[in-house]
Amino acid sequence: MINRLFRQTDIPKKYHSNFIHLYFDIGWFGILSGSAVNFLNVYAARLGATGLQIGFLAAASAVVNLLIAIPAASWIEKRNTNRAVFWSSIFYRLGYALWIPLPLISNPQLQIWALIAITFFMAIPLTPLGVGFNALFAESVPLNYRAHVAGIRNVVFAFTYMASSLLSGFLLENLSFISGYQIIFGIGFFGAAMSSLHLYFVRPLTDETLPLPPSSMPDSDQKASSPRGILATMRLDVLQTPFRRVLILLLAFHFAHYITNPLYALYNVNILHLNDNHIGIGTALYYLTVFIGSMQLSKAVRWLGHKRVTGWGVVGMATYPLTLALSHQVWHFYLISILGGVTWAFAGGAYANYMLEKIPPNDRPSHLAWYTMALNSAILLSSFIGPAIGDLMGLTTALVVFGVMRALAGLAILKWG
């Protein structure tokens, strides 16, 4: 099955290089995500961070992204997409190196606020990276191969995330707090650097392989009727297209997705009393099923299409917070992780391609900038609302409410997407 998934004999040779480097890019990114990023909130929770402070870790990036997403898109449009993405990734990922000395600071609260400040400044290059990578993916992968490439990227990401998460949990349990987290942050920085190296070799294609979906075709008089001056820079005309509905639906999806994140570390550490090795094993099980599910993504998309795979995947994602709220033992956590990985394999693998189907190829940066604003609006709002509801209702009740929200977001995509 794996051999069939990675087989490139039936893919034109001119696409091989891009596809291979995209696979290596996400593989190294998986190492970063399974080590430093995966244990960041756990690290903050063990330092005594509140739910609001953990929310700030996500909100810091979201604020910056909201402020500069549109200018970042304009900057991307005027440059070679490959070079813009590469250099943005370099400046963004240098910030991970600053995490390495943080455990040496003796004051836990100072460490927490230093993390928040570093995250804030990392968000400046992260914004053009986020806008630009989606555009680069669309430019470097033909439409009829996107589900295939996205599926393999999910598989590679799941495998490296799983391996690095298991290794990180083992190291943290067997090393001192300071040296353990320094090594984990160092592994993450190395993965980030290697991921950027492979992004350098991803090249936009010179031909457009498939026509646009009818729903994303620009109007013939769009250019003539576009607003001028500052309104032209803001590209408010994007909101007058069918893409507006996609933005609203993805905003709802991301809000329901991210609102749970500040609560997970608090629930796992303070209620389930999991140690770092338990969390590493649970994360590995999660991405094991992401790995397995991703191998079926291309088949599912051919059968249902990106929209329905996204919608049903989001509905399925509701099971994670709903069942976590009912868990009391470590084996419950492991079982929930297995179920959660399957649903994310489909939702996470399909939603970006669902969005790209609705964007005209000649105007991707501006549409993706509006998507970036929707994404970060969801992150910003959820970062504060999630902990507030958790404090008001209690962690268990809040997780149930948020699970229901995910199910409703998925059903909305199925009905109106």
Q: For residues 180-208, give the mean pLDDT.
A: 91
In the predicted structure, residue 231 carries a pLDDT above the cut 60: no
Rounded to whole angstroms, the Cα distance separating 28 from 188 reads 9
Q: Are 360 and 45 in contact (CB under 8 A)?
A: no
Q: pLDDT tens digits, residue range 355-368?
A: 989 998 888 888 88
Quick one: pLDDT at residue 293? 86
Rounded to whole angstroms, the Cα distance separating 394 from 390 reads 5
Q: For residues 111-127, give the mean pLDDT.
A: 92
Quick one: pLDDT at residue 222? 34
Torsional class of 305: left (φ above 0), alpha (ψ -120 to 50), beta (otherwise): left
Q: 239 exposed, middle or buried (CB, 10 Å; 0-12, 13-18, 19+)? A: exposed
Quick one: pLDDT at residue 269? 85
Q: How confident is the model at residue 233 (pLDDT cuts 50, 70, 90)?
A: low
Quick one: pLDDT at residue 226? 37
102 or 276, higher pLDDT: 102
Q: pLDDT tens digits, residue range 51-60?
A: 888 888 888 8
Which of 27-41, 225-239, 313-327 is predicted least confidently?
225-239
- 224: how many CB neighbours lie within 10 A of its CB? 7
Q: Residue 71 has which token pair? A: 């200018």
Q: Which domains does the chain have, with CATH numbers?
A: 13-202+240-416 (1.20.1250.20)
Which of 6-20, 332-346, 372-386, 400-414 is predicted least confidently?
6-20
Name the percent of the chain lying above pLDDT 70.
91
Residue 19 makes CB contacts below 8 A (sequence gap 6+) with: 8, 11, 141, 145, 149, 152
